[in-house]
Chain A
Amino acid sequence: MLKQYDLVVIGTGFASTFFLKKYLEKSTVSKKVLVLERGQFFSHASRLDQIRGKDFELKNKLEDVKKSFINKNDKKDWPFDVNFGGSSNCWWGCVPRFMPTDFKLKSLYGVGADWPITYEDLESYYSDAEDIMAIAGPEITPFPKSKAYPQPPHQLNTIDKLLQAKYGNQYISQPAARASRNVGKRSACCTSYVCNLCPINSKFTIENTLKEVYDDPRVTIQYGAKVYSLSTEGNSIKKILFSLDGKDQEVEGEVVAMGANSVFNAHILLNSGDKNKFTGLGISEQLGTYAYMYFKDLDNLGGGTSLSANGYMMYDGERRKTMSSCLIENHNEPFIRNEFGKWRHMAKFKFVFEDVPSDENKILLTSDRFVPEIAYKKHTAYVDRAMENLEKDIEKYFSFLPIEKIELDGYFQRTEAHNLSTTRMSKDENSGVVDSNLIHHQYRNLFVLGGSVFPAISAANPSLTISALSLRSADKNF
């Protein structure tokens, strides 16, 4: 390891990897890049060994993620992966774009905040990210697209087909980073519905598609490097401070790109003495709840992937002035209805609601410099109102189906496995932490990457937007 690098990248998840990929494409061969990865290279093969109950590599070297932060809220979980590739290892590969309205939440609906960029600013980068991930998706979508998806869509199941016939482009085959055709090292999805660790390596991961970024001769990667702070000099970041094998280390970077996650991006900034009043505030995520529909003489068959479709019927419009946007997912699980002869006369839908980042939910420093506290009190009433309206909404949009009965969970899942909005993007430092190019308002050689920059979080899954933002940021600045 050298003492000084042109670029130091923190983390190897979506945010860091897409940024680094674009940076390398636009930089000269003489550049030197150091990547500090907190975890290990815990390969897909080793993960499969672990879940299959076999001995696996790194058995005694993996960090217990739950011990990496303090969470005093016993109703919430905050899962993520700290090893190479970050949450690309455990995500489910759902990649709907945000809608254009998601970027204008305040001006259109009087709620939350607008983004300092528009959908149009990001559109071409969405296409680039979709190409890199070889997304399978439909021809017609509710959001505008300048380019077709690189892979054909997954097959709709019999319930989806009825919903699409009724709602057109408001009900589509889910855009998925689960391949519909063999591509690269990835196999076509076969609907196993265990996408958190795909047994056939179908979903996009950093490991199976973008590991080459880290094999570039300009790049040095250091595993087990736990970054805890940045030293500053005036309005610049001077050094990156980290622990390696229990020893304190430091390295200089002309430019620093921090793509940890919303918990650790904020924590590292707070540890560094960042005085921006918004740093650490607003941790949030979407909230999801399930509904089970039981049909008369209607089989649910033929779905092409684990989550076969997305519904946008409850996403936009006047409702959003008073209650959350909602994205519908059809969970194409191999469940059965436990009634003789009606084995597949059912469907399982998830209703995923956006929340509005609230300053009362935040990241705090603790007495341990490595361990942040996630002080999450509660989601907002905006979501509760949408939940209260759910039964009526389901009646409105699903009652044309031959439904015998509906069971609503009536509670939110403990997590949607997203953590967002702790270093929000804004026009100036009086309303957020980073600018529209993801550069910190004060420290002008520091990029803060990932879902931590979302000023409003949408009901849609964040990873595609995180990736597109990173491509745009590197493209605009190098």
Chain B
Amino acid sequence: MKRKTFLKILGGVAALGAVSYIAVPSFEEMLLKVLKADTKGLNIDEKAFTTYLEDYKKENPLRFKSSKQQFIQASYIFDYPYVPNPYKHKYQQFRSLLVGNFLLSTDFFTNKMDLSKKINYVGVYNPHLRPCANPFSYLYYPAA
């Protein structure tokens, strides 16, 4: 089954869900829930989430097409163990990109993932606007 076909089926199910008064979150609402869930256990300044979301909306740093956003939303809504999704690994990869962009927008990685430090928002990770900020590169881990 192709991803577009899968998306159409999920879209149909989502429409049924809407008829049944199941709330469908917007992409931004979903993103906030995803970020909070997937960074649970990290000591993140609460303001970091809201400021990031505002900047994400302005800059769209990942340049996701609407079809990709819809796929992520549909997969998120039906992300239950008993709902089969042949593209679950793709959903998880995209979800990792979202969480990754958020964490790259903080000082978590530049602080070498030090769990003892409070994590602060530093600016949305967008290399065309703020280049040379890859915290995993040789600039942060030079040859010994």
Contacts and interface: CB of A to CB of B under 8 A. Distances in A.
Interface of A: 48, 51-52, 154-155, 157, 190-194, 197, 199-200, 292, 300-304, 332, 334-338, 340, 343-344, 407
B25 interface: no
A407 B89 contact: yes
Given A190-B139, A303-B138, A338 B100 contact: yes
A191 B135 CA distance: 9
Contact of A302 (B113, B132, B142): B142
B134 A191 contact: yes
Which bucket holds chain B's interface residue count? Answer: 20 to 34
A55 B40 CA distance: 41
Across the A-B interface, the 6 shortest Cβ-Cβ residue pairs: A302-B141, A190-B132, A191-B137, A336-B100, A192-B127, A199-B131
Interface stretch (B48-56, B68-76, B91-99): B91-99
B138 A51 contact: no
Contacts of A157: 136
B6 interface: no
A302 B89 contact: no
A335 B97 contact: yes
A interface majority secondary structure: loop
Contact of B99 (A52, A199, A338): A338
B137 A336 contact: no
A300 B93 CA distance: 17
B128 A200 contact: no
Contacts, number: 87
Nearest to B3: A411
A337 B103 CA distance: 11
B131 A338 contact: no
Contact of B41 (A191, A337, A340): A340
B92 to A, nearest CB: 7
Contact of A338 (B38, B41, B127, B138): B38
28 contacts: A51-B128, A52-B129, A154-B138, A155-B138, A155-B142, A190-B139, A191-B134, A192-B134, A194-B127, A200-B131, A300-B136, A301-B136, A301-B140, A302-B136, A302-B140, A303-B136, A303-B138, A334-B100, A334-B136, A335-B96, A335-B97, A335-B100, A336-B100, A336-B104, A337-B96, A340-B40, A340-B41, A344-B136
Contacts of B140: 301-302
Interface string B112-144: 010000000000010111011111111111110
Contacts of B99: 336, 338
Given A192-B127, A343-B113, A336 B139 contact: no
Contacts of A337: 96
Nearest to A343: B113
Contacts of B109: 343
Given A190-B134, A192-B131, A194-B127, 9 more contacts: A154-B138, A191-B136, A193-B127, A194-B128, A197-B128, A199-B131, A302-B138, A334-B136, A338-B95
Contact of B128 (A52, A301, A302, A340): A52
Contacts of A332: 136-137
B100 A407 contact: no
Nearest to B133: A192
B131 A336 contact: no
Contacts of B131: 190, 192, 194, 199-200
B142 A336 contact: no
Most interface-central of B125, B132, B135 (chain A CB within 10 A): B132
Contacts of A192: 127, 131-134
